[in-house]
Chains A and B, each alone.
Chain A
Amino acid sequence: MSNFEFIRATDIHSACSALKNPGYMAVAGGSDLIVKIRNGMYPDLKGLVDLSGLEQLNQIRTDENKVIIGSGCTMNQIVNDRLLQDYFPVLTKAAATVGALQIRNSATIGGNVANASPAGDTIPALYVLEARVVVTGVNGSRKIPIEEFFISPGKSKLEPGEIIEGFRLLLNKTRGEFLKLGERRAHAISKINLAVSTWNDGRDHYRIAMGSVAPTVLRCKEAEEYLENCEKISPEAIARAAEIASNTARPISDLRSTKAYRKQMAGVLLSRALNKLIQSA
Chain B
Amino acid sequence: MQNNLIKISFKLNGKQVESEVLAGMTVLELLRRNFRLTAAKEGCGKGECGACTIMLNDQPINSCLKLAATLKNDDEIISVEGFNEDKLMNNIQQAFVEEGAVQCGFCIPGMTITSYHLLQNNPNPDEHAIKQALSGNICRCTGYRKIEAAVKKAADRRHE
* Chain A residue at minimum C-beta to C-beta distance from B1: A5
Inter-chain CA distance A101–B116, complex, in Å, is 13
How far is the CB of B31 from the nearest CB of chain A, in Å? Answer: 15
Flag if A100 contacts B50 (CB, 8 Å).
yes
Inter-chain CA distance A49–B1, complex, in Å, is 14
* Chain A residue at minimum C-beta to C-beta distance from B138: A187
Flag if B47 contacts A53 (CB, 8 Å).
no
Which B residues lie within 8 Å of A76 (CB)? Answer: 59
Partner of B24, one of A2, A103, A105, A186: A2
Flag if A106 contacts B65 (CB, 8 Å).
yes
Partner of A102, one of B22, B53, B132: B53
Flag if A4 contacts B135 (CB, 8 Å).
no
Q: Which of A3, A100, A186 has most chain B Cβ within 10 Å?
A: A100
Flag if A35 contacts B46 (CB, 8 Å).
yes
Flag if A4 contacts B62 (CB, 8 Å).
no
A1-51 at interface with B (beta carbon < 8 Å) = 1-6, 8, 27, 29-31, 34-35, 37-38, 47-48, 50
Flag if B136 contacts A102 (CB, 8 Å).
yes
- Any B CB within 8 A of the CB of A99: yes
Flag if B72 contacts A34 (CB, 8 Å).
no
Interface residues on B, range: 35 or more
Which A residues lie within 8 Å of B25 (CB)? Answer: 2
Interface residues on A, range: 20 to 34
Flag if A102 contacts B62 (CB, 8 Å).
yes
Partner of B6, one of A6, A105, A106: A6
Flag if A35 contacts B47 (CB, 8 Å).
yes
Inter-chain CA distance A5–B22, complex, in Å, is 9
- Any B CB within 8 A of the CB of A52: yes
Inter-chain CA distance A105–B26, complex, in Å, is 16
Which A residues lie within 8 Å of B72 (CB)? Answer: 53
Inter-chain CA distance A250–B83, complex, in Å, is 51
Inter-chain CA distance A29–B2, complex, in Å, is 22
Inter-chain CA distance A27–B59, complex, in Å, is 20
Inter-chain CA distance A31–B70, complex, in Å, is 13
Q: A27-B70, A34-B65, A34-B67 are in contact. Are A5 and B4 (CB under 8 A)?
A: yes
* Chain B residue at minimum C-beta to C-beta distance from A3: B2
* Chain A residue at minimum C-beta to C-beta distance from B62: A102
* Chain A residue at minimum C-beta to C-beta distance from B57: A105
Inter-chain CA distance A187–B47, complex, in Å, is 10
Which B residues lie within 8 Å of A48 (CB)? Answer: 23, 67
Inter-chain CA distance A186–B50, complex, in Å, is 13
Flag if A186 contacts B135 (CB, 8 Å).
yes
How far is the CB of B38 from the nearest CB of chain A, in Å? Answer: 19
Flag if B69 contacts A31 (CB, 8 Å).
no
Partner of B65, one of A1, A30, A101: A30
27 residue pairs of the A-B complex, CB under 8 angstroms, read A1-B24, A3-B3, A5-B2, A5-B23, A6-B67, A6-B69, A8-B69, A8-B70, A27-B67, A27-B70, A34-B66, A48-B23, A48-B67, A50-B67, A50-B69, A52-B70, A53-B72, A76-B59, A101-B114, A101-B133, A102-B62, A103-B47, A103-B65, A105-B59, A105-B61, A186-B132, A187-B48
| Top 6 A-B pairs, shortest CB-CB distance | A100-B136, A186-B135, A2-B24, A6-B23, A2-B22, A1-B24
New A-B contacts (19) at CB < 8 Å, excluding given A8-B70, A106-B65: A2-B23, A3-B24, A4-B23, A5-B23, A31-B62, A35-B47, A53-B72, A99-B136, A101-B133, A102-B50, A103-B65, A105-B59, A105-B60, A106-B61, A106-B62, A106-B66, A185-B135, A186-B136, A187-B48
